[in-house]
Amino acid sequence: MEALLLGAGLLLGAYVLVYYNLVKAPLCRGIASLRGRTAVVTGANSGIGKMTALELARRGARVVLACRSRERGEAAAFDLRQESGNNEVIFMTLDLASLASVRAFATAFLSSEPRLDVLIHNAGISSCGRTREPFNLLLRVNHIGPFLLTQLLLSRLKTCAPSRVVVVSSAAHRRGCLDFTRLNHPVVGWQQELRAYADSKLANILFVRELATQLEGTGITCYAAHPGPVNSELFLRHVPGWLCPLLRPLAWLVLRTPRGGAQTPLYCALQEGIEPLSGRYFANCRVEEVPPAARDDRAAHRLWEASKRLARLGPGEEAEPGEDSQPEDAGSPSSLSTPHPEEPTVSELYPSPQSSPDLSKVTCRSQIKAEPETPTC
C-alpha cells in the first residue's frame, strides 16, 4: 500500500512539474484598453481564435470575426458579445481557400470599417480532409490566403499605424523544408499532409521575417506566434472516432486550453515595447530563436515573390482595392464577382482551423543572389 501511495505521489509530482513548466501558458498582460481600435481575427469561431477575440473584445476593441461558416461565425459573435459585454463584435465571411473570397472580404472590410489596428492570422488547417484540389490546399489556407489578405489591407494598417500583424505559426516549422519547384503541388496522403503542414508553418515565419523588412519605418510591426500544444478542434478533428474517447482525457491533462493557447498571439498583438523585435518568432510570451531555415533572408524573399505569383497579386494591389468598394471587371486580375478563371473552387468542406532577443537580427538582410533550385531546409 505504501509503495502504491509513493508511486501515486511521484506521478502527481511529475505531472505538476510538467504542467507548470510545459503546459501552463504565461498570461498576456498587454494593453488594458483597446477602445477606439479595430482588430480582425481569422478563424475566430472556435478554439484559439475565439479566445483571442474574446480577450480583445473584453479590452473594448471592435472585433471582426473573419470565418468561413456564416452559421458558426454569427453564433460565435453572439457568444462573444454576451460574454464580453462588448456589442462591437461582428462576423464577416472569409474563405482562405478561395482567393476571390479573400479579395471580397478585403473590399467589404475597407468599405465598411474605417480602422484596422490589429490583424491576427489565426485560421489554419492541418489536413486536406476529403477535399482534393489541383493545388496545395494547406499552403493556400495557411500561407497564401493570409499573405494576400495582408497585402490587400496594408494601406489601412499604415493609416492606423502604429499597428500590428500577428501570424499564428507552430513549432512544426522546425520540420519544414520548402521546395520551391513543388511549392503548389497537390497534397495526397497523410505523410504528404504532415510535410505540407510543417512547410506552411515555416512559410509563416519566413513571411513575417520578410514582411518586417518590407514594412520597416511604416509603423506596422509583425510577429509569428506559436500557441503551444493546445487542446483544440485542430487536434482531434482527424483522429478516428473510436480513438477520441481515449485521447480526450489525455489531451485535457497534457495540452493547453484554447485560452492558454491564445496568450502568445495576444502578447504579440498587445505587448508594449516589442516593436524592435518585429519579424521575430514568439512562444510562451517571449521571443525564441528559430533554426537556420527559418531565418534565411534569401529564402524569405524568394517565398515572397513566389507568394505574389500564387496569390495572383497584381501591380498596386497591395493598396486598397477601391474606396467605392465596387468589384472590378470580371476579366481583371482582382475580380470579386467571380473566381479567377484559372482558380479552382473548393468543392467540399475543408477543416477550419502558431531566449534572449538579438536586436541585430531584426533588420539584417543578406544580399539577394540568384536563387538555387534546391529545397530550403
Mean pLDDT across 153-164: 97
Q: Which of 15, 19, 197, 281 is catalytic?
A: 197
Q: What is the pTM of this model?
A: 0.77
The phi, psi pair for 164, rounded to 5°, reads -140, 150
In the chain, domain spans: 16-330
Of the spans 258-267, 329-338, 368-377, which averages the highest pLDDT? 258-267
208-236: per-residue pLDDT in tens? 999 999 999 999 999 999 998 766 665 55
Residue 162 CB-density burial (10 A; 0-12 exposed, 13-18 middle, 19+ buried):
exposed
Grid coordinates in use for 66? 473573419
Q: Report the pLDDT value the prediction gives residue 27, as an integer from 0 to 100.
A: 77
Residue 45 CB-density burial (10 A; 0-12 exposed, 13-18 middle, 19+ buried):
buried
97-136: per-residue pLDDT in tens? 999 999 999 999 999 999 999 999 999 998 777 667 788 9
Q: Is the dihedral of CA 258, 63, 311, 282 positive or negative?
A: negative
* Strands in the chain per DSSP E: 38-42, 62-67, 89-93, 118-121, 163-168, 220-226, 281-283, 286-288
Among this protein's residues, is 19 annotated catalytic?
no
Q: Which residue has the higher pLDDT, 257 or 280?
A: 280
Class of domain 16-330: alpha beta
